[in-house]
Structure 1
């Protein structure tokens, strides 16, 4: 009975969570229907609420916004809107930070979350999966003796929280896996491993590097 129960859970739990996430997203997007005039909403025309029309409306709004902002007039309107938000004391800090992060992450020319890395964390004898988010700011890079990279180390099973680190480029290892595969690997706590590639297995070599010296132990052994 225990084996059958666990087998049933393995079938229904992923399906239930998937349906719950989709239902939550669709329900949130259906709230956009309040933007339509009274009487022109799908529930008014059909006489019954049909979930999913909010998703179509959200897609239409996003596509329409991108189409309008692609021309010169639309770009002027966007700049005007951003200038208005920049004059609001609290909003300008939140909007500016989110805008900068979204432009960096979603831009095709950016390097944010384009590479999956293997880094030493939380100490020199442990390794974890991380993502390269770019290069350090000039004020930081000029103080470092060699080339460094900005790295985001996600937590598991919730990758939206994590740690931002600046590490030497020579101490990070670029993995032969996509960002999606690395995210699945992190979220599953290492259970869902990426599919092995035969050609990558043939070229795989162990990482042989000296362990970093523990500064506290060195100080303890110094005379005086």
Structure 2
């Protein structure tokens, strides 16, 4: 009975949690968008039943249209004029500038940021922690470290089992041991506390095999690092 219950829980829990999260997001989007939809454009005004997700769909269409219009000359002029007005408001301009910078950085780096997983020695030598690679150090931080001859990379170190919180750490590139697992597999490993490990090898490795040595040791040696033998 216990084994059957646990097997059923493994099958049902992911499905139930996924449906609950999806439904919660849809309802949250509808609660924000639907109050601003004119009655003549609301599908529920022509039907006798509620249409879940209509607000989310309308919001996505509206954002897409705004993005399309913002690419032409007239749209860019309007956006620039609106930003110039916002920049004159003391408190609002700071919030707007920060939020815009975050979105621009995330969207510009979306092809690489947080899609690679690695290991760093933390919190002390000989102890390894899983991190997500964010991007190369930029701005003043990169300038300071480049003057010292160090190539720094910003990584995100999340705790277990809540990967949304964590620490931003700048690590020398040669001290990061890169992994083949995807960001999704890394998140699963963190959330499960190490219980759900990704399949390995997921794909053939291009690195030569090292007989009698773990693959982590081979990578560490490739980066001129020393790992104590088991």
Q: TM-score range by the shorter chain?
A: 0.7 to 0.9
Q: Distance in 2 between matches of 1:50 and 1:138?
A: 48
Q: Could you tell me how far 1:136 is from its partner in structure 2?
A: 2.8
Residues 118 and 128 of structure 1 are in contact (CA less than 8 Å); yes or no, is this contact kept in structure 2? yes
Moved over 4 A (4+): 108-111
Q: Distance in 1 between matches of 2:4 and 2:198?
A: 28
Deviation by residue 1:9-46 (Cα, 9 ceiling, x = unmatched) = 22221111111101111101222122221344222210
Cα pair distance change 1:13/1:110, threshold 3 Å = closer
Cα pair distance change 1:187/1:79, threshold 3 Å = farther
Q: Could you tell me how far 1:164 is from its partner in structure 2?
A: 0.7
Q: Could you tell me how far 1:186 is from its partner in structure 2?
A: 2.6
Q: 2:68 corresponds to which residue?
A: 67
Instruction: Report the 3-state secondary structure (helix = DSSP H, G, I; strand = E; otherwise coil) of the residue aligned with 1:46.
Output: coil
Q: What is the TM-score with the length of structure 1 in the denominator?
A: 0.81
Deviation by residue 1:43-98 (Cα, 9 ceiling, x = unmatched) = 22102212121222122112112211121222222222333333333333333222
Q: 1:141 corresponds to which residue?
A: 142
Q: Distance in 1 between matches of 2:6 and 2:53?
A: 33
Q: 1:199 corresponds to which residue?
A: 204
Deviation by residue 1:87-115 (Cα, 9 ceiling, x = unmatched) = 33333333322221221111158753243
Q: 1:98 corresponds to which residue?
A: 99
Residues 104 and 112 of structure 1 are in contact (CA less than 8 Å); yes or no, is this contact kept in structure 2? no
Length, aligned pairs only: 211
Q: 1:175 corresponds to which residue?
A: 179
Q: 1:12 corresponds to which residue?
A: 12
TM alignment of 1:124-163, pairs within 5 A: 124-144=125-145, 145=148, 146-163=150-167
5+ long unaligned stretches in structure 1:
212-224
Q: 1:24 corresponds to which residue?
A: 24
Residues 105 and 113 of structure 1 are in contact (CA less than 8 Å); yes or no, is this contact kept in structure 2? no
Cα pair distance change 1:159/1:97, threshold 3 Å = farther
Q: 2:212 corresponds to which residue?
A: none
Q: Distance in 2 between matches of 1:28 and 1:110?
A: 28
Q: 1:82 corresponds to which residue?
A: 83
Cα pair distance change 1:110/1:23, threshold 3 Å = closer
Q: What is the TM-score with the length of structure 2 in the denominator?
A: 0.79
